[in-house]
């Protein structure tokens, strides 16, 4: 939607003639390195052109008025700066409220209310991080509107804290980090233990990254995400009885094979195996990309999906059907689920000249097996969260 239309909506919603400032935070895909972030491993995400627009203006009183064009039926959600506690009735607005609350507690001065309108074009529940996108859009908005100096890493960590402590999902740092530090045409290799990171150019020559939405809705809060995390924590605790390690990310595949018997529960052993092998695959994938070996990169993506299906058990019939259909197509170098799993999206690296044929085939196979349609998007890798100057991204 053009920013002029968003401005019009803002003025109509809050009955004002003054133009708001406009901020944007993207969503993300993860190329490889899934469920490794909270296990002290590596991830390799990139920010996409879909995201969350946040338009805002300060108020002269202490009221915060939130409106989302995605949830018009919720109307304007109001609260006061003096009471930012989680409130179930405030629904989606708890995400920006949490950011405001935690930035204030971190010592930043937010001394007046604001009118804030959100518009997101990330498909809802698609596993492309719409919630982290709202958090980071709110972060850059507060920074701009209240003239704050917020270290970007602090903003990222506050976003994760909102998710963990305010919303109640034990997610890792990947989404907020990718969205906070994304760079056009690059993916970020992030060591989630040290937070050291490097950018890797994504040059796919005659290929594109397709995002394929299962259209099976999911929310992290309602998923088995926290359960997986607890299983990995238990596996780590078992290993720590004999080994001096900080996280599963400290183990090589060889270390794991040598010591896996220490993990008492068989299921926890499978979860830990995924975390260790996926971390190794992620580092290998960066090497393949550096060598311009897209076939090698694609093969690792495929192995990642198999491990998420068999060891981590977070794929489900919808994602498996999509990914299998993608693998069967001769224009595809690799395909896997992306994000937390349990529905959401898959990604595939597809030859440009085969895109139409790919969409047609995968669509048909998915529809026949699942009974409804998937949706296809071409991923464009854009920048991280920022203010939009002059109304252009
Ligand atoms: C979600 C979480 C991330 C990460 C992925 C799985 O997106 O928010 O922290 O754990 O799932 O890789």
Q: Supply the CATH classification number for the domain 202-233+278-379.
A: 3.30.70.890
Q: Which CATH architecture has domain 3-200+382-387?
A: 2-Layer Sandwich (3.30)
Ligand 1 probe mutation, 174, 275, 341, most atoms within 8 A of CB: 174
Determine the pLDDT at residue 282.
Answer: 98
**DSSP letter string, 119-145:** EE-SPTTSSS-HHHHHHHHHHHHHHHH
Q: Give 372: exposed, middle or buried? Use CB within 10 Å, 0-12, 13-18, 19+.
A: exposed
Strands 77-80 and 186-191: unpaired
pLDDT by residue for the chain (393 residues), tens only, comes to 889 999 999 999 999 999 999 999 999 999 999 999 999 999 999 999 999 999 999 999 999 999 999 999 999 999 999 999 999 999 999 999 999 999 999 999 999 999 999 999 998 778 899 999 999 999 999 999 999 999 999 999 999 999 999 999 889 999 999 999 999 999 999 999 999 999 999 989 899 999 999 999 665 545 689 999 999 999 999 999 999 999 999 999 999 999 999 999 999 999 999 999 999 999 999 999 999 999 999 999 999 999 999 999 999 999 999 999 999 999 999 999 999 999 999 999 999 999 999 999 999 999 999 999 999 999 999 999 999 975 544
Mutational pocket test of ligand 1: of 340, 344, 346, the residue with most ligand atoms within 8 Å of the beta carbon: 340
Task: Quote the ligand 1 centre to 218 CA distance (angstroms).
Answer: 13
The Cα–Cα gap between 56 and 65 comes to: 10
Distance, in Å, from the CA atom of 305 to the CA atom of 346, rounded to the nearest integer, reads 10
Does this chain's domain 3-200+382-387 share its CATH topology with 202-233+278-379?
A: no
Q: Where in the sequence numbering do the catalytic residues fall?
A: 175
Residue 393 has a pLDDT of 47
Q: Which pLDDT score, from 0 to 100, does residue 18 have? A: 92
How many angstroms does the Cα of residue 140 sit away from the middle of ligand 1? 22
Residues 6+ apart with CB under 8 A from 237: none
Taking the CA of residue 30 as reference, the ligand 1 atom at the shortest distance is 12
Q: Ligand 1, atom 9: nearest CA belongs to which residue?
A: 172
Please tell me the distance from the alpha carbon of residue 257 to that of residue 40, in angstroms, as a whole number. 18
Find the 176 Cα to ligand 1 centroid distance in Å. 10
Q: What is the pLDDT of residue 389?
A: 75
Q: Which atom from ligand 1 is nearest to the alpha carbon of 37?
A: 10
Give the start-to-end residue ranges of the domains of the chain: 3-200+382-387, 202-233+278-379
């Amino acid at each position: 939607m053009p920013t002029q239309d968003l401005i019009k909506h803002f003025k109509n919603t809050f009955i004002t003639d003054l133009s708001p400032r406009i901020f944007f935070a993207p969503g993300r895909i993860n190329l490889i390195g899934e469920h490794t972030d909270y296990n002290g491993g590596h991830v390799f995400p990139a920010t996409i052109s879909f995201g969350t627009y946040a338009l805002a203006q300060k108020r002269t009183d202490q009221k915060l008025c939130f409106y989302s064009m995605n949830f018009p039926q919720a109307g304007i959600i109001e609260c006061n700066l003096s009471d930012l506690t989680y409130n179930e009735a405030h629904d989606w607005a708890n995400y920006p409220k949490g950011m405001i609350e935690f930035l204030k507690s971190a010592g930043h001065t937010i001394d007046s209310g604001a009118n804030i309108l959100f518009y997101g074009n990330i498909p809802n529940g698609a596993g492309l991080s719409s919630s982290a996108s709202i958090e980071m859009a709110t972060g850059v908005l507060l920074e701009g509107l209240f003239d704050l100096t917020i270290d970007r890493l602090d903003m990222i960590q506050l976003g994760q804290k909102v998710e963990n402590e305010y919303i109640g999902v034990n997610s890792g740092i990947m989404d907020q980090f990718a969205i906070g530090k994304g760079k056009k045409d690059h993916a970020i290799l992030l060591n989630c233990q040290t937070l050291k990171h490097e950018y890797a150019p994504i040059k796919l020559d005659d290929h594109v990254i397709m995002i394929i939405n299962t259209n099976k809705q999911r929310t992290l809060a309602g998923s088995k995400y926290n359960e997986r995390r607890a299983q990995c924590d238990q596996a780590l605790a078992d290993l720590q009885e004999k080994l001096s390690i900080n996280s599963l990310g400290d183990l090589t595949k060889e270390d794991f094979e040598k010591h896996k018997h220490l993990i008492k529960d068989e299921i926890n052993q499978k979860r830990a195996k995924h975390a260790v092998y996926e971390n190794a695959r992620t580092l290998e994938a960066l090497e393949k990309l550096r060598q311009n070996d897209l076939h090698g990169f694609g093969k690792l993506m495929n192995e990642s999906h198999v491990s998420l299906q068999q060891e981590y058990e977070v794929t489900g019939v919808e994602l498996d059907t999509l990914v299998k259909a993608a693998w069967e197509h001769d224009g595809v170098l690799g395909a896997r689920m992306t994000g937390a799993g349990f529905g959401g999206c898959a990604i595939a690296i597809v030859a440009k000249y085969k895109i139409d044929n790919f969409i047609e085939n995968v669509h048909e196979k998915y529809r026949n097996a699942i009974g409804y349609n998937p949706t296809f998007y071409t991923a464009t890798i854009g920048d991280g969260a920022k203010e939009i100057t002059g109304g252009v991204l």
